[in-house]
Amino acid sequence: MAQRDARFNQHVLVDTTPMPDHIPKVEEIGTSSAPLLSASYFIGARCKAFNDDFMQCKQEANGRGEIDCLKEGRKVTRCASSVIKDINTHCLAQFKAHWECLENNNHNLFECRSPEFSLNKCVFQNLGLQKTIPGAPEDQVPVHLRPRQKYSVNAWNQFDLEQRKEAREAGASLFKQQEQK
Amino acid sequence: MGVPFEALIPYGIVIGMFTVAATGISYTKHFTNEGKKPRWNNDLWDRQSKLGRSMNIRFLPKYGVGLSHRIWANIQSQIVMERDLRLTGSLRGQINNPPGTKGIRSQQAMEGREPYLLGYKIATFSHACALFSFLSIIHTTACFLENAAVSYNPSYYS
């Protein structure tokens, strides 16, 4: 080719062409960033298989993943929106409290442990989904069950008395489970 | 005995100017962030494209009417907040609609809600800018930033 300089611009490119008709339409997740972050660990808990499947498909597709893995991608979207739908029907108040707290605190999870604790509790009771942090050291209490949040600006100790007691019990039962293993 | 009030006048002016500047900044900050605390130190997920943050952005015609293009790129580089902008009509907006609500396409600007929100905000912001932008370059920059957040051009996406 002749002398033609490559032109790059720093925009995020958005293709607004609608999908062709033979590809089934999926309803998009209608939530913005804060509710998504708030629900993320529960989405991970329920949809791990679908997500791993999608990532494996993309890895094996040799760069054609965007086209070849549409089916897996639809499953990922559907699973995530099912989680958000369930949280909305069962734990709307706790969910709202948590993501509003996140939005007001620079999306830092460590500033909002108290609403997070009640959300985790409600979701576990109603949906059976439990927050686990992947890759966290197993011999320590996970950070969302610790009463003292080291980096928090608002308050070091964010749990109230009842939550502190429950968190201690939850941490103790986790240790017991690991000892039995 | 007369009080030497003339000696105190400069102090009064200095303190007064500090007050005016602080009020102006907090006012503009309040309106850019819609009453929430400002976001800072966003992580990689919030600004996925590092390129968008670079300061060497050339002049890009046709893009963003009457805006500094650097500010446009800055907004676009914060990928997740930019998606919020497309969903709700403002960078700090949050929404928790159930999936399948009519009008939600995260790839496109929201149709029903935008003009009202934008109209409302443009009014407030121009008011704030007119009040405070003459004070200092910081105020002018703040106004620029919030204008960038506001004059989002939906025709670009749809």
Higher pLDDT, B118 or A136: A136
With CA atoms as reference, the chain B residue closest to A77 would be B99
With CA atoms as reference, the chain A residue closest to B83 would be A32
Structure tokens at A134: 């992947």
With CA atoms as reference, the chain A residue closest to B81 would be A33
Distance from CA of A169 to the nearest CA of B (A): 32
Interchain CB distance below 8 Å, B37 and A106: yes
Flag whether pLDDT at B153 surpasses 70.
no
Assign B16 to helix, strand or coil.
Answer: helix
Interchain CB distance below 8 Å, B79 and A28: no
Higher pLDDT, A39 or B120: A39
A149 Cβ contact list (under 8 Å, min separation 6): A110, A111, A113, A143, A155, A156, A157, A158
pLDDT of residue B141: 65
Q: What type of residue sits at position B29?
A: K
List phi, psi (to 5°) of B47.
Answer: -130, 75
Residues of A within 8 A of B88 (CB-CB) are: 32
Other beta carbons within 10 angstroms of residue B145's beta carbon come to 17
Flag whether pLDDT at B139 surpasses 50.
yes
Distance from CA of A10 to the nearest CA of B (A): 5
The pLDDT profile of chain A, 181 residues, written as one tens digit per residue, is: 567 766 665 555 556 677 788 888 888 888 888 999 999 999 999 999 999 999 999 999 988 888 899 999 999 999 999 999 999 999 999 999 999 999 999 888 999 999 999 999 999 999 999 999 998 888 888 999 888 888 888 888 888 888 888 888 888 887 777 777 7
pLDDT of residue B112: 39
Distance from CA of B50 to the nearest CA of A (A): 9
- Express as a percent the part of chain B with pLDDT over 90: 13
Banded model confidence at residue B151, pLDDT cuts 50, 70, 90: very low
Structure tokens at A171: 């941490």
Q: Within 13 Å of residue B157, how many CA atoms lie on the same side as its CB?
A: 21
Flag whether pLDDT at B21 surpasses 80.
yes
**This prediction's pTM:** 0.72
Banded model confidence at residue B48, pLDDT cuts 50, 70, 90: very low
Average of per-residue pLDDT across B108-123: 39
Interchain CB distance below 8 Å, B76 and A9: no
Quote the CA–CA distance of A40 and A33 in Å, as a whole number.
Answer: 10
Q: What is the pLDDT of residues B62-115, one digit of tens each?
A: 334 444 444 555 555 466 776 777 677 677 888 887 666 655 555 554 443 333
- Picking from B99, B157, B158, the nearest residue to A81 by CB comes out as B99
Which residues pair with residue A157 across a beta bridge? A148
Higher pLDDT, B119 or A133: A133
Residues of A within 8 A of B87 (CB-CB) are: 30, 32
Structure tokens at A75: 């499953």
Return the closest-CA partner of residue B20 out of B157, B138, B156: B138
Report yes or no: A19 and B87 within 8 Å, Cβ to Cβ.
Answer: no
Flag whether pLDDT at B22 surpasses 90.
yes
Flag whether pLDDT at B120 surpasses 80.
no
Residues of A within 8 A of B54 (CB-CB) are: 10
A105 touches chain B (CB under 8 A): yes
With CA atoms as reference, the chain B residue closest to A85 would be B98
Backbone conformation region of residue B63, classed left if phi is above 0, alpha if psi is from -120 to 50, else beta: beta
Residues of B within 8 A of A28 (CB-CB) are: 99-100, 104-106
pLDDT of residue B13: 97
Interchain CB distance below 8 Å, A30 and B84: no
Higher pLDDT, B121 or A25: A25
A56 Cβ contact list (under 8 Å, min separation 6): none
Distance from CA of B157 to the nearest CA of A (A): 7
Report yes or no: B108 and A95 within 8 Å, Cβ to Cβ.
Answer: no
132-161 of A, contacting B, C-beta below 8 A: none
pLDDT of residue B111: 41
Higher pLDDT, B46 or A114: A114
Other beta carbons within 10 angstroms of residue A24's beta carbon come to 9
Interchain CB distance below 8 Å, B106 and A28: yes
Residues of A within 8 A of B45 (CB-CB) are: none
Q: What is the mean pLDDT of chain B?
A: 61
